[in-house]
Structure 1
């Protein structure tokens, strides 16, 4: 990439971003169709399939960095993506909610609170694992990476149990929230696919093509972007936490906009929290592929971004409890708070790396 001109790098970067957006929409639609056709909608398989599908760019970048023995790049990609993916909820709140009420007011449920708590718990384990010695590794496994994967699996089991009902009034759903149950948009997409004559096999082919496109685009956008923005004077940490993280969050944005357009506000938040909970699991992949203890190599900027991601998640958890009804600039108070904290957080990050 270093032999290419800046203009060509820009074209590659923007082209890959467009490819991720377009393929992300197709991937989201086919994922929902397959989960409904294969009866995965309410099972762990559907949650895992969606988490993998929406995080394919991060998976591609993490695997590429680990195989190239650049574990610090893998760590920055994973942790930098969590904060920006949480900010996606700000965009959904401002652009995707009808009627005009804050997203957290319409989506409030105890299950979403549990999903947010899982994200925070996993990020706390990440911080703890960064303090372990790098020599603590056996069979390409480290305690921190394994514990994160196990905690994620246990969390999914608890969330699936919560999805079947909680011993609270209204089963854990707040009054006056969305009319239809969470996940109804998936059924709508499946019915639309059926009416168009799209078979399960054809949906699987579309899924595979879109997934392959996102994987390739994910690697290319990281390499072209790092070279391009490096020439413009942006540090690798700032690039990874802002520009690259925003580009790789495009599948989550397209998925969320589709869900909110169909009135499935709970699913929109659930997809973001679910994707953020899945990202730390990629440390296990990075450790296995690189053969190194990845988390102990985290820089202070990585730990800083981990704390920022947890802080933004907690703000939305508070919003789900207090359910603000007033809007300012088409956003709820929680979304405005998240946006301000993210800007301040990235400003602080610039001082750290500067």
Structure 2
């Protein structure tokens, strides 16, 4: 969720005298920053479990299907810290911070699927996650992400003056593509011109379309207590968990940023590794919970949904700041966007070929994504150095 280039971008803003000052916890001692960092991570983890459970219950009552549940409800909720940071940065005129916040985390967020694949098995002998998920709808989601990221890269090359009523063509096109992606996912979840509605042999048992929860998993997921709780209380739990994610995510990022500064660590490396992983806790928590509930597809859909949704925030940032946002992207931001598209494409191929073999406890596609990301981080150092 957090940008590899995000931390250095903020520090550049602070040095240049920008009104936006992200390091609001700089005055605290290092030990207290660490306490805030760990405590915020714990809150995010617990809130993520509740988000997954309540999202599943909302899906069940409103018949959204896990595709739209992951693409809209859960994806937006787990990215609330990014929304808050983007709004704050844009309101202060620091659009470069908003760009780094949006683009930098997409690649790392894709790597979260590696973690879910490696540690999210319900049975020791279970095949890799992309084999179990086995839904062409997820391939549609992945292609939507790649299409949006392609527009992002192209949009960074357009001049800054192409805006009307604070709207730029690239930001509007991204929103249009996101909406089209939602419509395609919804259609794919109900019908695709493939055998057995796109169901794959050997996948997690499911009823139809995109949802892959087994009957046993469904019983665990939507418990008797949740059924009796009612939609109103379920929505209240979801809202409370989302608010906790928003507040804790903000303090997690601020404390991590301040601690790295006091330790003298490179903002780039810290942001791309420790801080990026820590602020991806909502996706990890909700993903592992979804897998435990028997909904493998929701775990992947949450990641793809969040990655498709984040660039939509460029429209919001432009409306608030009154500036063209994408043209201010740094070389590191553009580089990470290309890496994110590559990682997403690898998983799209994995979903099509469904490798059964595990290497180092993960699927072959997850191993390829992990290697590509690590090589990409090495290249990022060269690009921004």
Whether TM-score is above 0.5 comes out as yes
Does the 8 Å CA contact 1:235/1:353 hold for their aligned counterparts? no
For 1:103, the equivalent position in structure 2 comes to 129
Q: How many Å separate the matches in 1 of 2:186 and 2:46?
A: 30
Name the CA distance, whole Å, in 1 between partners of 2:351 and 2:69: 26
Describe how 1:219-298 pairs up with structure 2 within 5 A. 219-298=250-329
Alignment pair present for 1:8 and 2:44? no
* In 2, Cα distance between equivalents of 1:340 and 1:106: 22
1:39-96 deviations in Å (ceiling 9; x for gaps): 4347957742222112112212222222232222221122121111111111111111
1:68 and 1:19 mapped to 2: Cα distance? Answer: 28
Task: Structure 1: give runs of 5+ residues left out of the alignment.
Answer: none
Deviation at 1:137, TM superposition (A): 1.9
- Give the match for residue 184 of structure 2: 158
CA distance in 1, matches of 2:303, 2:326: 23
State TM-score, norm by structure 2.
0.85
Question: Among residues 193, 197, 206, which one is paired with 1:171 in the alignment?
Answer: 197
Q: Which residue of 2 aligns with 1:91?
A: 115
Q: Which residue of 2 aligns with 1:183?
A: 211
Calculate the TM-score normalised by the size of structure 1.
Answer: 0.92
Residues 165-203 of structure 1: per-residue CA shift (max 9 Å, x gap): 111122222221111244354954663154674232222
Cα deviation for residue 294 of structure 1 reads: 1.1
- 1:301 pairs with one of 297, 320, 332: 332
Cα offset for 1:219?
2.1
Q: Which residue of 2 aligns with 1:126?
A: 152
Which of 36, 42, 47 is matched with 1:23 structurally? 47
Give per-residue Cα distances to partners, 1:239-279, cap 9 Å, x unaligned.
Answer: 43333332222111112112222332222222211111111
Seen in structure 2, the aligned counterparts of structure 1 residues 193 and 301 have a Cα distance that, compared at 3 Å, is farther
Number of residue pairs the alignment of both structures matches:
354
Aligned 8 A contact 1:108 1:323 in 2: yes
Q: Write out the 4+ residue segments of structure 1 that deviate beyond 6 Å after TM superposition.
A: none
Deviations 1:291-337 (A, max 9, x none): 22111110000001001111111111111122211111211111111
Query: 2:237 & 2:246 partners in 1: Cα distance?
Result: 14
* C-alpha contact (below 8 Å) 2:98/2:317 kept by paired residues: yes
> Which residue is 1:114 aligned to?
140
